[in-house]
Structure formats: C-alpha cells, structure tokens
Amino acid sequence: MPKTTNMKIFRFALFFIPVTCWLTISLPAQSLQDTVIDGVVGIVGGNVILKSDVENQYFQIRSQGNIQGTAPKLKCQIFENLLFQKLLLHQAQVDSISVTDAQVELEMDRRMRYFISQAGSPDRLEEHFGKSLLEIKNELRDVIKEQMLTEQEQQKITKDASITPSEVKAFFKKIPKDSIPLINSEFEIGMIVKQPLISDTEKQEAKDKLKGFKERIAKGDDFSTLAVLYSEDPGSSKQGGELGMFKRGEMRPEFEAAAFRLKPGEVSDIVETEDGYHLIQMIERRGEYINVRHILVQPKVSLLNLGKAKATLDSVASLITNKKTTFDIAVVKYSDDPGKNSGGLMINPVSGNSRFEASQIDAKIFFVIDKLKTGDVSSPVLTNERGKQDYRIYFLKTRTNPHKANLEDDYARIQQMALDMKKQEVIDEWMTKKVNSTYISIKDDFRNCSFERKWIKN
C-alpha cells in the first residue's frame, strides 16, 4: 500500500494499544518518576498529556521488542496518538457521554485478575510496583474510565460507517500486488467427546479418601503435607495445595461458595466440582481476596467404562466415514462436550472464530488432524485434561493452503480491512474539523515532531 495508507493504519492501530500499558508485568518495578522528570507536554481541551504518559507507552513497546525506527520518532508517534485520545475524550465530555462507576469497577476487576495472574499472586504484584492493591486500583480507575469514554466516542463517530460489496472489491484492487497479505494454511476442526461413566462406587471411594484425610487433620496431621503427598491437582500440590490470592469469579462456583465461608485455619466439608472432590483450608482473607489450600481427589474411571466410551466413538466414527450420518448430526446426538452447541467446531481463543493456523493448534491434536483429508474423522483419541480422561474423535472440516489473500477465499477478512479503512477515513474527517475548533497546546518537548495532523496552530 502507499506510504500514507500504511501510516493511517499504524495510527489507527496505535490508538488501540491498551492505555493500561503502564501496568505491564514485564516493566521494571521502579516508578518512572525515578528516572523521568514528569510534566505537562500537551493539552487538548481541558485534558493534559504528561511526559510519563509518553514514556510509559514507549517502554511498553520497547519491552515487547516492537521498536521500529528511532526512539524520538516513535515517541512523536505515541504523542500524536495521545493527542488523538485526548481529543476523543474532550468530545466525549462535550457530548455528555458517561460510564457508570459499576461499569468501571467491572472492567477494573477484569484487568486486576489478569495482572494478578501474570504476576502470580497479589503479593507479587504489590512487590513488583511497590504499591498496595488499593493504590494500584486507585491509579488505574481514572485511566480505565478515560479509555471507556474514548471508546464510546469513537464508536459514536464511526457507527454509521458501512461497506458495500463493490467497495470491498475496489479496495482490494487498489492494494499493490506485492502488498497483498499472505494467508497461512488454516484449519477448521470439529470434535466429538465421550466421557466415560463414573460409577457411584468410584465416587464414594474418592469421598471416603477425603474423609480419611479430614480425620487425620483433626488429629493433628498437617494439611499442606497431605496435599503434597495426595492431592491430584498438579498445579498446587507442590505448594502444599496453596492456590494464592483470588477473588470471587475466578474459581468453580461450588469451590468459591465453600471457600469464602471459611475462617482462617478452618477446613471445609467435602466439596464437589466438575474437577472432582476437594477439602479446602482457609489460609487468610485480605479484603475481597482470600488464599486457601486444597486437596483434590478425582474419582477413578474403570477400564470397563473407559473401553465402553472408546467403543461408542469407534461406532460413531464408522457411521460418519460410511456416510450413514453426518458429523453435524453425530455431534448433537453423541457428544458430551458442552461446546457442541457451536456445531462441535473448536473455537480459536485468539481470533474468536473457528479457524486455526497450524501454530495455534495443540501439538497432540495437530499430529492427529494433519493425517486426515478434508471431511475425514479420526480414530478415538484418549485425552487427559485436568486429570479427567475421555475419548475424542476429530473431524477435519476444512484445510486451506498458504496463499495470497483473494476475494473468493478471504472475502470476510478483506471486507473487515476495507471497513476499518472506511472508519479511519471517517475519523480523519472528524479530526480535521475538531483539531481546528479545539484548544490544543503542545510544549517544546514535542513541537519539532513531524506530525501527520496540523496540531500546532501557532
């Protein structure tokens, strides 16, 4: 594409760099204020841009190895993106767009769960930034609110943008041949899951085992030692069953219901979840977070019932192969997978659709489906997820070869690219008007930048 078009796409993409990047786990723990003398470097309407705002985003990009070109040039691009964000924020304020405290807190909790999971525990997150969780949340709250307001304003500006088939075709024709994107080989994979029956006897054996552990704990045995020796949760058993700090919404509902009722040192009754049976001991409570340890025992599946599950899927695979039923019908009739409502297709968590590149497929699954032809089903495959065994057959619905994007095979992808460009044009037109009518002040630090937009008026 022409250089100007590439720059438009870069600016549009840069806007969506999360404004919470200051809280990225990979950044140094020390505050930027230790190394940067902060100050106002720009004002849009009544909204200021601090030097630390620019430096934080720059360090974020640098930590990910995404720097292209010189540091001053990248900082100028970041600064111009921040001008754009503040312009959107100013207009959101003019338009009286609002977000509720409840919406902000919901998004806050979602991000805090992510940050804590990345750090490993609330303690490690606090240690990393030298601040309490409350201080981190207080600093994050205004940032999240601003981002939510700017996102709503941008959606308002572009809500009427649409694209016609003729515009999609025209957009594609304008892409230089050497700039047409290469589409890697992609797969659509379906699966039918058969979970073996677990008998009442096997369930009772698991519960009896935990009853024995609870009696030993009551007599003085150490909970964490028993967890190391006997818990079937590989992720926590080595830590004596300790799970680390978490809040409501992060564990199985039945597990949380029991855990949050406990007092420090107290041990729960047996708790059943889809993972198996648990004993839980409260370690500590800190505000809305708790830390517990647990012992997990999973009912064992008999070889007889495991064999029956395999035999069932053998028959299902044969019916599909011999055209006596279709995969779609077999999924509804035979699969025990909760996701069968999507037609049995595996969903790519990265893209949100059913297409996977080879690198995105679990190696064990890829080993199976790579041998299949389109429309084939595999033999039953024994899997063990979270300690639970089941059998699965995989169905290769589609496989594409690596190719340059074309309208026939990649229309939806090209349509989205064209729509994004249309939205950018709407944003560009809106910016031209608003830059001229909005108070904007840029300090000396960035007045020498080669901006795309005429932000400096004097």
Give per-residue pLDDT as tens, 282-294.
999 888 888 999 9
What gap in Å lies between CA 130 and CA 68, rounded to an integer? Answer: 31
The pLDDT value recorded for residue 254 is 95
Clarify whether residues 224 and 144 are in a common domain.
no
Residues 110 and 155 in one domain: yes
pLDDT per residue over 183-239, tens digit each?
Answer: 899 999 999 999 999 999 999 999 999 999 999 999 999 999 999 999 998 878 888
How many angstroms separate the CA atoms of 280 and 101, rounded? Answer: 34
In a domain, 452, yes or no: no
Q: Do 17 and 126 share a structural domain? A: yes
pLDDT score, position 413: 86
pLDDT tens per residue, range 344-370? 999 887 777 888 999 889 889 999 999
Whether 457 is in a domain gets the answer no
- pLDDT, tens digit (0-9, with 9 covering 90-100), for 163-197: 999 999 999 999 999 999 898 999 999 999 999 99
Q: Which of 268, 297, 326 is the last residue of a domain?
A: 297
Residues 171, 44 within the same domain: yes
- 25 three-state secondary structure: coil
Residues 22 and 148 in one domain: yes
Domain finish residue from 238, 273, 297 = 297
Per-residue pLDDT at 341:
75
3 state SS of 93: helix
CATH number at residue 53: 1.10.4030.10
Question: How far, in Å, CA of 308 to CA of 190, rounded?
Answer: 22
At a CB cut-off of 8 Å and minimum separation 6, what does 176 contact?
A: 1
Q: Residue 97 above 80 pLDDT? A: yes
Q: Helix or strand or coil: residue 284?
A: strand
pLDDT band at 16 (very low <50, low <70, confident <90, very high): very low
Assess if residue 264 is contained within a domain. yes
Per-residue pLDDT for 21 more than 50?
Answer: no
Whether residues 146 and 56 share a domain: the answer is yes
Q: Which of 297, 316, 336 is a domain's end point?
A: 297
What pLDDT, on a 0 to 100 scale, did the predictor assign at position 66? 58
Number of C-beta neighbours around residue 11 at 10 A:
18
Which amino acid, residue 32?
L
* Of 5, 1, 3, 2, the residue nearest 422 (C-alpha): 5
Q: Which residue has the tokens 């024995």?
A: 212
Helix, coil or strand: residue 214: helix
| Residue 269 belongs to domain with CATH number | 3.10.50.40
pTM of the complete model:
0.59
Smallest Cα–Cα separation from 213: which of 230, 200, 199, 228? 230
The helix or strand, by DSSP H or E, that contains position 109, with its residue range, turns out to be: helix 101-119
- Is the per-residue pLDDT at 245 higher than 70? yes
Same domain for 283 and 417?
no
Q: How many residues does the chain have?
A: 458
DSSP helix/strand/coil, 440: strand
**Per-residue pLDDT averaged across 66-72, rounded?**
69
Say what the pLDDT of residue 414 is: 93
> Which amino acid belongs to residue 226?
L
pLDDT band at 10 (very low <50, low <70, confident <90, very high): very low
Based on the fold, state whether residues 379 and 420 are members of the same structural domain. Answer: no
Could you tell me if 434 and 386 lie in one domain? no
Q: What is the pLDDT of residue 388?
A: 81
Please check whether residue 393 lies inside any domain of the structure: yes
Overall number of domains in the chain: 3
Whose tokens are 């937009």? That residue is 453
Whether residues 166 and 45 fall in one domain: yes
CB 418 within 8 A of CB 168: yes
Q: Cα(first)–Cα(last) distance of the chain, in Å?
A: 33
Q: Are 75 and 62 in contact (CB under 8 A)?
A: no
In DSSP notation, 326-393 reads -HHHHHHHH---GGGGGTTB---TTTSSS-EEGGGS-HHHHHHHTTPPTT-BPPPEEEEETTEEEEEE
Q: For residue 64, give both structure tokens.
A: 């990910």
Given pLDDT bands bounded at 50, 70 and 90, which one contains residue 7?
A: very low
How far apart CA 320 and CA 310 sit, in angstroms, is 15
Domain that holds residue 227: 200-297
Question: Do 154 and 20 belong to one domain?
Answer: yes
Q: Which of 352, 331, 338, 339 is nearest to 397 (CA)?
A: 331
Are 341 and 429 members of one domain? no
Q: What is the chain's mean pLDDT, rounded?
A: 86
pLDDT the model gives residue 65: 66
In what side-by-side order are the strands of the sheet with 271-273? 271-273, 276-286, 289-297
pLDDT at residue 250, as a whole number: 82
Measured CA angle at 78 (ends 100, 349), to 5 deg: 60
